[in-house]
Structure 1
């Protein structure tokens, strides 16, 4: 029998090679909710020291034909694909066919002059300022069901008269940057990046079941279907007809991704210089180092160095998490849109690296002196649990992304203004002024920086990543004349008209034939919906337009017609 097929057969038949029974049980418990024959799920791979120590599937790859997930199911992995786009660029740089200092304008002169200041490195590190094309498509009124092509995306981007920020000034994730990198590969090599990657990466590495999926009509053997849960129960197919690659588009398997992981440590195909370029983190103009490298996030977790990237598109979710010093990697590929593979991957890592995490924590504890806290009454007061009333108020990550914390029936309660989601909090044991959402261990909310008996910040933690939500003053908007905002507003950059209407004492906004969205009043001339903020502009007291900011797209100008 061919050795390649024998190894694949052994992988499918023997899910556990090196993991202990206790570890297997603990890992299976993480995925137990999906380990059923009537729902989609995921495939898992755990690699260490070049070996597959655990690999198996949970749930179904295809609900119509009752095909289960396994290590050879082919998944779309969303933005986890970005490292392969980056790899193509780094290879071309090694081959002397481009420089990371080359400007975007040198490849695509149709862009406005700002592209002269954007380099390939900026695109790799998400520091270019180029607006995110997926967000632009949403703001144009398009949905996941709509079809558009590369030429449309290029037109949208070249139509943007401004950037989110000057190149190198900030770090904001942008799918446009990686889509453009794919177009640069095509421009330089005169072949589609799917073809270049196959020739230069996948075939040399023996990744025969991996490709950039640039043709939605192509037949893919062992493909897992993507699904989304229905409100009434059950699942529906969630796939796409879009052919864009670069920001996503990789189809791969657990078996193949293990070969990619092996190449990180030892490869005749990819040099040490190549990998050093891949993991070199970006820097802003002020010298600050950011977490993003080339399609990879470099961020320690519980004292251990970690390299990772997640992915999410239509009915697929993915995470590839590597602890390089331990030569340990977890890959989770899911075919359900409600999955959180990042959280699951970290939980799997906890099972196998428990002792390493403990050791790292002990080293950290021993290096930190408690002397400055023991004799400091103010610090001692800060660490003491406070009444819930001192935690209530409005906290904001960005304008429009605002959390209201209140007390309901004696319980701390959260309300997300941008999507109207609400939930109760419960304290986390052995932690001071720190809470989690009831029934959800994904996030922790630490209330901190107390002034005048009020917390000034929430440190929100998710799998080791931290974001600070600052207290904001509650603005009295009771006197705002809502009817004054009514009208049609046009954006030349999007080429769309937004309608603001007033009905039943409330404002609504609508684009094209999409359903109207209720607008919330954040300030005197600031409205928001679904995390999108509209800052209205007046001339001599009369509204003449607004500036729209929507996460990965900022400062879009709309004029009132």
Structure 2
């Protein structure tokens, strides 16, 4: 076990802490490296860490406690408790927040696009204002899975509104104190000092750097805890003292989207299988901290890895620890070998084309010399009539019908739809003029500028400057470009007179965010009302 953490056992290094439980027993705990590097304060099993998105399972647990109390139902419309949330024309249920099927844009991306930096002070009200300013969704509610921290920030607000208590007090009184989690708290005010807390670190150009995490936001993040307390939490999930077995089983239940596709995100847990065994797991990353909580419910086994440095991969560490303890009972690690088959060129040609996963994410499948190529460079080898694999990569590709590409990655599937392939001319200084100008986002209340500099197109705004680039010819769409920045992909749109009138920005966590081109001052806003102010806590 100690060998896994050897890189973080050197003097002057931050490090990690780990706990392992089997049923109702703590079978291992240890800590490595320093909680405070400058003062050589070592990490211990009771050192507290910021656990980032691992916090989500606690927020979900609070919702199910309130449902058990009869105070809410996860089928309720969120706006019943949070009327400040825009009415998008279809009910967003509490269940949609729990399973990330709401379509709400991610709060961190929105804040960053509006100019906030990771080192900035961010309070709960800052996050809520960004959520309430949304007037369009990434996708129709219920139509698909899309991970968004906004969902769990709203769930924390629902807990406050329904319970009449601050989220921190509710969690302390209903969860942490009854379970003896005396090291655990919700960081709703980063200025409050807590002894025994690990400070955040990360690599920099000159070596180790101190990170800043001045966040007073919670629900999606915000839990501060130790591996000792996480062991108590794991044992409660195994045999509940707070809540019931039915409550825990409800948390582990997954759902399906409107098309019947499985959504493998439960309520604060990602569900999967590892070496043949069912797992629930969640990892977390914030500046200076990484974390993972892994549980094998059938084996009544759990691992927590918490680190105060950005170097370790906590998921790999947690799985390696599971190998040590469960290696004799889990299925052997297997390598799937695909047997190549030969398909004729006419059959292969039916798969060639351009496929779009979401705006700005395209896949070009081309036929050359009797072979299919992905992105015109990676050869695809058939192992079935409609199935292909890449050499030296754990990814396969399927074409279930004439218009769909399914990319089977190790932990999830990605679906792209065929779009028309069109010839798009090169971007030149002459046609760049169409796009130049100032653009306003009502949701961000921010102006971005598109300008021509030394024969190239540039995007500038609160996030800084980014070059606007054109895809390779097989991946082009009309008026579509990309940036190597948080702005992601840009899809410009034209009016009836074929003048560029706006662009939509998409970066994965934010899809189709509209920026309206300014001509004579601010345009008439299409949004019906300004986002309301809100007080987060009762």
TM range (shorter): 0.7 to 0.9
Q: C-alpha separation between the residues in 1 aligned to 2:342 and 2:181?
A: 54
Match in the other structure for 2:121: 147
The answer to whether the aligner puts 1:381 opposite 2:341 as a matched pair is yes
Match in the other structure for 1:35: 9
Match in the other structure for 2:369: none
Match of 2:48 among 74, 77, 97: 74
Please, which moves more after superposition, 299-308 or 500-509? 500-509
Deviations 1:237-282 (A, max 9, x none): 2132221110010001111100111111213322111111111112
The answer to whether the aligner puts 1:554 opposite 2:529 as a matched pair is no
In structure 1, runs of 5+ residues without a counterpart are 1-23, 374-378, 384-392, 406-413, 416-423, 425-431, 437-443
The answer to whether the aligner puts 1:483 opposite 2:433 as a matched pair is yes
Match in the other structure for 1:102: 76
In the TM superposition, what is the alpha-carbon distance from 1:323 to its structure 2 partner?
0.9
In the TM superposition, what is the alpha-carbon distance from 1:360 to its structure 2 partner?
8.5
Q: C-alpha separation between the residues in 1 aligned to 2:464 and 2:103?
A: 30
Asked if the contact 1:395–1:457 (Cα under 8 Å) also holds between the matched residues in 2, the reply is: no
Match in the other structure for 2:189: 215
Match in the other structure for 2:96: 122
The answer to whether the aligner puts 1:524 opposite 2:478 as a matched pair is yes
Change (3 A) 1:450 1:508: same
Alignment of 1:332-351 (within 5 A): 332-351=305-324
Alignment of 1:146-225 (within 5 A): 146-225=120-199
Match in the other structure for 1:235: 208
Q: C-alpha separation between the residues in 1 aligned to 2:188 and 2:147?
A: 22
In the TM superposition, what is the alpha-carbon distance from 1:544 to its structure 2 partner?
1.0
Measured on the aligned residues, the alpha-carbon RMSD in Å equals: 3.3
Match of 2:217 among 219, 244, 252: 244
Asked if the contact 1:177–1:247 (Cα under 8 Å) also holds between the matched residues in 2, the reply is: yes
Paired residue secondary structure (2:281): strand
Paired residue secondary structure (1:257): helix
Paired residue secondary structure (2:155): helix
Match of 1:329 among 296, 302, 308: 302
In the TM superposition, what is the alpha-carbon distance from 1:348 to its structure 2 partner?
2.1
Asked if the contact 1:179–1:245 (Cα under 8 Å) also holds between the matched residues in 2, the reply is: yes
Paired residue secondary structure (2:328): helix
Change (3 A) 1:47 1:123: same
In the TM superposition, what is the alpha-carbon distance from 1:515 to its structure 2 partner?
3.1
Match in the other structure for 2:453: 503
In the TM superposition, what is the alpha-carbon distance from 1:524 to its structure 2 partner?
3.1
Change (3 A) 1:34 1:397: farther
Match in the other structure for 1:515: 464
Q: C-alpha separation between the residues in 2 aligned to 1:471 and 1:287?
A: 20
Asked if the contact 1:395–1:458 (Cα under 8 Å) also holds between the matched residues in 2, the reply is: no
Paired residue secondary structure (2:98): helix
In the TM superposition, what is the alpha-carbon distance from 1:496 to its structure 2 partner?
0.3
Paired residue secondary structure (1:557): strand
Paired residue secondary structure (1:507): strand
Asked if the contact 2:124–2:218 (Cα under 8 Å) also holds between the matched residues in 1, the reply is: no
**Which structure has greater helix proportion?**
1
Paired residue secondary structure (1:246): coil
Match in the other structure for 1:285: 258
Deviations 1:139-197 (A, max 9, x none): 11211122243333332222221222222111111111100111111111111111001
Deviations 1:382-407 (A, max 9, x none): 69xxxxxxxxx9998654457999xx
TM-score, normalising length: structure 2: 0.81
Q: C-alpha separation between the residues in 2 aligned to 1:549 and 1:265?
A: 41
Q: C-alpha separation between the residues in 1 aligned to 2:66 and 2:54?
A: 20
Paired residue secondary structure (2:14): coil
Alignment of 1:418-457 (within 5 A): 444-446=393-395, 448=397
In the TM superposition, what is the alpha-carbon distance from 1:211 to its structure 2 partner?
1.2
Deviations 1:278-336 (A, max 9, x none): 11112222333311111111111221100001111111111000111111211111111
Asked if the contact 1:226–1:335 (Cα under 8 Å) also holds between the matched residues in 2, the reply is: yes
Match in the other structure for 1:132: 106
Asked if the contact 2:49–2:225 (Cα under 8 Å) also holds between the matched residues in 1, the reply is: yes
Aligned length: 479
Paired residue secondary structure (1:310): strand
In structure 2, runs of 5+ residues without a counterpart are 344-352, 366-373, 379-387, 472-476, 519-538
Change (3 A) 1:470 1:58: farther
Q: C-alpha separation between the residues in 2 aligned to 1:83 and 1:68?
A: 28
Q: C-alpha separation between the residues in 1 aligned to 2:91 and 2:149?
A: 19
Asked if the contact 1:40–1:60 (Cα under 8 Å) also holds between the matched residues in 2, the reply is: yes
Whose RCO is larger (CA < 8 A, sep 6+)?
Answer: 2
